[in-house]
Structure 1
């Protein structure tokens, strides 16, 4: 968790649905991480355990968070049983957290009201459908879709750090991947896409090929500012903007506004040195967020926390202050859409 005195909460009554956070317990694996060298390693060392108590503390840190959507991160897979079904363990685990929150014992917030899990879509349509149906059953009405990351770069060790080497280049164009992807619409499920800014054309092609499947582009497409891209983030802004505008022409695509506090983006703040203020974050993030809102419109865009990953740069309350600052020019109706309405619609949430 980023350190420092907490800022006063801005617009404390504005309803928020956080559509993107994780839960994990990496304590047993921290000892095997390299000493340093990449910001994502620092995140895992800083926050090796982020479970319901840690999430709840953030949700109750001052903003009016009404509910959340859990985003897969490889947590709590089954240790045994058929390999394709092991990812169902994550949905089982998160549904338990959701049930705890829904009890009301921990306050009115409905954590993990929607669950986005993981299925390797390259396993063939029959296996993919079987595994997806198992996730749906395990979610007891909360399972909403999957994420299958395509984050790849030729300079992967320096850009992605411990996440390097997990997927091949061009995953979203792969025929076996698309065979599995076709099952999502059949089952009424959405798809979250995490990829890096140079890969946005792959997502555009995927969205055009499957116009009836709801797709969410995570983290504004992840602009890069480390590794081979160090010092080049502003240089690449025009290319990113052109791709975002093209992607927005696909009516089935929505965008998440956040993830910019991750180390991949190459901004200078980190919890190890000096956590950023919300004013500083808002100035840095505003060009990306405004571009996305202009391209997609408020009703296809949603603010996200991406916690605990984005705790790399600031605490939870500061992050939402920063996002509120970037939305200062929006109307009241646009703010409702950006901070809660789009998430409720896309993930089909009931927060009663």
Structure 2
């Protein structure tokens, strides 16, 4: 980890040590979750995103997800995240459909007071803001950390958060939630209380393999699977499959002398992928890169090859759901981007 960051540092020279042929190059892709930033830990702006997009897969569009980029210190605290939307659109101005949708930050703890923030975000984005996400992944154990600035406990349970989420639904926006497996019951309570709100659960619902959790423990896996299954029983929930490069997932590919091949990734992730699909099915699940967070552990081409290996036994319609259609429906992105050559 670099500079206290919970993420593995990106090493381009290490990633370049392994190169694969692109599998199923005809498969159209919508990258349902990536970030852009310029931090002390590294830079991942439009140019770096473009380099990854050019690695061979047919990625037609993407969804940018908030990560505290470019906040405006000249505005009141509640409106400072407006700068993130402005910065990302400025960086990506010459790349149509990257992003095709934005998941922005607006503090749900504002409750009803979130309205002017949502108005400003939607206006600044020209309608590209389709969802909101807050920093909510919390665990009391110090080893379970995936955010440079972890949130306090209880945000997902607070009455103000529920009220802010209700307003998000009223605006026709969705809510992305990054929560660990230990918090999925809280996400369930939120989704059940607000059936009109579309909730997208990030990174497979946060299966944990650090601190008190052991991937080799059937009990830990089953705890995650059962909580995910319960959440999937609510029709207003969706799932992003990815995030396996997060340190809390427990994989240590970055420690190896060479990067992993996609066959290794697919084999490692198969039990989680199978459980995710058993719970949500292809029509309510979508693949995500989670770059550049996951880029410290594997390359963009390798990642999408792994997803193609995992979904190889599905029919074409189901693969299209996973690779683009579910995300396009969820974030209201024009299908024509993906069906026209």
Instruction: Indicate yes or no: 2:38 matched with 1:56.
Output: no
Q: Give the match's secondary structure for 1:256.
A: strand
Structure 1 residues 233 and 168: CA distance shift in structure 2, 3 A? farther
Match of 2:204 among 220, 225, 228: 220
Match of 2:3 in 1: none
Structure 1 residues 197 and 232: CA distance shift in structure 2, 3 A? farther
Match of 2:105 in 1: 118
Structure 1 moving runs of 4+ over 6 Å: none
Match of 2:131 among 131, 145, 148: 145
Instruction: Indicate yes or no: 2:331 matched with 1:347.
Output: yes
1:172-200 CA distance string (max 9 Å, x none): 11111111111011110000000111111
- Deviation, structure 1 residue 121: 0.6
8 Å CA contact 1:69–1:116 kept in 2: the answer is yes
Match of 2:156 among 154, 158, 172: 172
8 Å CA contact 1:225–1:233 kept in 2: the answer is no
Q: Distance in 1 between matches of 2:93 and 2:148?
A: 31
Structure 1 residues 194 and 344: CA distance shift in structure 2, 3 A? same
Q: Distance in 2 between matches of 1:337 and 1:24?
A: 29
Instruction: Indicate yes or no: 2:261 matched with 1:277.
Output: yes
Q: Give the match's secondary structure for 2:60.
A: strand
8 Å CA contact 2:111–2:167 kept in 1: the answer is no
- Deviation, structure 1 residue 289: 1.2
- Deviation, structure 1 residue 167: 1.8
- Deviation, structure 1 residue 163: 3.0
Q: Distance in 1 between matches of 2:26 and 2:292?
A: 23
> What residue ranges of structure 2 are gaps of 5+ in the alignment?
1-9
- Deviation, structure 1 residue 292: 1.2
Structure 1 residues 343 and 162: CA distance shift in structure 2, 3 A? closer
1:32-87 CA distance string (max 9 Å, x none): xxxxxxxxxxxx3xxx1000000000011000000000010011111212111001
| Structure 1 length-normalised TM | 0.88
> What residue ranges of structure 1 are gaps of 5+ in the alignment?
28-43, 103-109
Match of 2:60 among 57, 66, 71: 66
Structure 1 residues 63 and 245: CA distance shift in structure 2, 3 A? same
Q: Distance in 1 between matches of 2:321 and 2:175?
A: 20
- Deviation, structure 1 residue 271: 6.2
| Structure 2 length-normalised TM | 0.91
**Aligned runs of 1:2-81 on 2, under 5 Å?**
3=15, 4-27=17-40, 44=41, 48-81=42-75
Moved more, 190-199 or 220-229: 220-229
- Deviation, structure 1 residue 162: 5.5
Match of 1:159 in 2: 144
Match of 1:323 among 307, 311, 324: 307
**Aligned runs of 1:302-321 on 2, under 5 Å?**
302-321=286-305
Structure 1 residues 272 and 138: CA distance shift in structure 2, 3 A? farther
Q: Distance in 2 between matches of 1:273 and 1:229?
A: 26
Equivalenced residue count is 323
Structure 1 residues 275 and 234: CA distance shift in structure 2, 3 A? farther
Instruction: Indicate yes or no: 2:69 matched with 1:84.
Output: no
How much is the aligned-residue C-alpha RMSD, in angstroms?
A: 1.6
Q: Distance in 1 between matches of 2:328 and 2:178?
A: 20
Q: Give the match's secondary structure for 2:98.
A: strand
Q: Distance in 1 between matches of 2:186 and 2:193?
A: 11
8 Å CA contact 2:146–2:248 kept in 1: the answer is no
Q: Give the match's secondary structure for 1:70.
A: strand
Q: Give the match's secondary structure for 1:123.
A: helix
8 Å CA contact 1:12–1:64 kept in 2: the answer is yes
